[in-house]
Each structure stands twice: as structure tokens, then as C-alpha cells.
Amino acid sequence: MKILIAVPALNEENNVTVFYQAVQKEAARIHDIELHIIFIDDGSTDNTLAEIKQLCLTDSKIHYISFSRNFGKEAAIYAGLEYASEENYDYVIISDIDLQDPPSLIPEMIAEIITGEYDCIAARRVTRKGEPVIRSFFARQFYSVIRKLCEIDIADGARDFRIMTIQMARSLLSLKEKNRFSKGLFVWIGYKTKYLEYENIKRKSGETKWSFWKLCTYAIDGIIAFTTVPLYIAAICGILFCFISFLIIIYIIIKTLVFGDPVAGWPSTICIILMLGGIQLFSIGILGLYLSKTYIETKQRPLFIIREKK
Ligand code: UDP
Ligand code: MG
């Protein structure tokens, strides 16, 4: 039986060897299984690729793909799954390289999945200890919003860290969209998933690649990829305000007929104009977001470009 661990890496020169050693330690506990690793170098500008190549010289079960530039973690995950599918592995594991996805869970994941009861064994953080409080807060809010809006039940604290059957990996690959929100896609394709729980672990070395701004756009892209509810909200706002303005028009006509027309109400007029202007811009913004995503999808560009692989 052959299992592949797909590991996206962007500027992780200090983590490559540490990760490899941690996995080797676990591999010693697993029997009758060929465990391979593929590193997907996502356009690193430090020595990550050199470190990976160094490891390749010592171990034939290590492979790598190096992108021509940074294409993002989602693209790297896709490349890893594609490799597993082409090379006919039986199962694929997706894992971060910074040891925040504890390799110590791997033997348990493998033991669970080979029973055949589940198609995917995923890891779920039960705490966000060690993460900035504001970041945790917004992350929680985001997941509760996306769960309500999109009707996809992303488990709280679910990570990309998981093992899945090659069949499930191929289903993921069959979703060709460019705006990929993996956490949602995992749920969307269905299959049976079991969650293993663990406590949050601090990154081994280096820094997180996710700035607050990047997380915000990730959140918006995630919502847009999975639901058109924001468009409905914009449309409903429009209808609601038409209705309200209709009532106000009737009120003003009656008031003018009964009491005459003393000129007043300039401030309220300005308030109404500003508010409607705001709502219009908001709605156009939502429309624009969907349009821009559609535009990007129609270009049919590849998700990533490979510069080297082994
Ligand atoms: N990563 C990547 N491309 C990117 C950003 C991140 O391949 O554009 C990799 C990174 O090297 C790591 C994993 O994705 O292996 C998770 O990144 P990070 O630890 O920065 O995210 P966090 O754990 O803070 O959510
Ligand atoms: Mg991390």
C-alpha cells in the first residue's frame, strides 16, 4: 500500500528537515506501508528548494514540485493531489510543514482509514491557544457566517490536515474552479469524514504567511465561492428600500395636500441620499465581486505553473 504526504511549503527552509525527521519518526511505527513525501515548493525565495533537493539525495521516497512563482497554498494542495492521482497512490495526506499539523497523528489516521469505514480522517483543533485573540475571534465569526450562509457544515477548527482515499482526492481534482476554498470543497464533495481532535500547536519556526488582510480576502473569497446569498441580500435591500420610499411618497403627498408645502427637511434629504448611495455602492460592490470571479474563471488559466519536479 502506498501513501503520499503532500506538503505545501513557502519559505520554510528551517522546517524542511525538521518536518522530514518528525515524519520518519512516525513512519517507524507504521508497518507494511510505503510512505512517500512530496514537497510543493510554492515559489519560495529562500533555501527551501535547496533543502528539499538535499533530502531527495538521501531518500528516494521524497519528491518535489517547484512552482515558477507563488501560486498560493490551495494551488499547492491541488498539485499534490494531482501527483498522487497520476502516480496511483492509495491514500493522500495533506499536511503543513511547520509541525502545526502534528505528524504524531499520522499513524492513527492511517490505522483509521485502512479499516475502510471512512473516506477521510481529518484533524480538528479544539483550541486556538497561542493564536492572537483578534485573529481567533474573526476566524470563529467567519466560520459561523459561512456555515449559515453556505449550508456547508465546516467543522469548527477543521484543518486541511487530513488523509483521504485516492477516490476522494480525484473527486476534489474534478472540481476545476480557480477560486478554491479547500475547507469548503472537502465538505461539498461529500464522503464520510471522521475528525480527530488535538490541541493547537505553535509553529515550529518562521512566521505565518497569513496577514490579517490576506485572511480577510480569503474569507470573502470563501463565501463567494460557495454561495450567492450576498447577491440576494443586495437585491432584497433594493426591494425593501423601494417599498419604504413608496410609503414615504404617499405620506408626503397626503401631508402636502392637508398642510400645504412649507420648505423644510433638507438634512433628512441629504441623509436619505447618502444612505441610498451607500447601499447602491455596496450592492454594486457585491455584484462586481461575483463578476470578477466569473471573469477570472472564464480565462481558464492553469492553477499553477511547474518549473521543476522530481
Ligand atoms: N503556504 C504555501 N503557500 C502560501 C502560503 C502558505 O504553500 O502562499 C504553506 C506554508 O508553507 C505552510 C502552510 O501552507 O506549510 C500553512 O501556512 P501557515 O503556517 O503560514 O498558515 P497558518 O498555519 O498560520 O494558518
Ligand atoms: Mg502554520
Q: Is the pLDDT of residue 268 over 90?
A: no
pLDDT at 238: 81
pLDDT at 9: 95
pLDDT at 36: 95
Q: How does pLDDT run across 171-210, given as a tens digit for each residue?
A: 999 999 988 888 889 999 999 999 998 887 777 777 888 8
H helix or E strand, kind and range, residue 27: helix 16-27
| Distance between CA atoms of residues 233 and 114, nearest Å | 45
Residue with CA closest to ligand 1 atom 13? 96
24 contacts 58 by C-beta, under 8 angstroms: no
Q: What percent of the chain has pLDDT over 90?
A: 46
309: three-class secondary structure by DSSP: strand
H helix or E strand, kind and range, residue 241: helix 229-259
CB neighbour burial string for 18-37, b if at least 16 within 10 angstroms, e if fewer? ebbebbeebbeeeeeeebbb
Q: How does pLDDT run across 53-74, given as a tens digit for each residue?
A: 999 999 999 999 999 999 999 9
Model's pTM, two decimal places?
0.83
Q: Is the pLDDT of residue 263 over 80?
A: no
Kind of pairing, strands 91-94 and 34-41? Answer: unpaired
Ligand nearest to the CA of 65: 1
Ligand nearest to the CA of 14: 1
Ligand 1 pocket test target in 40, 96, 217 with most atoms within 8 Å of CB: 96
Ramachandran assignment for 253, one of left (phi > 0), alpha (psi -120 to 50 degrees), beta (any other)? alpha
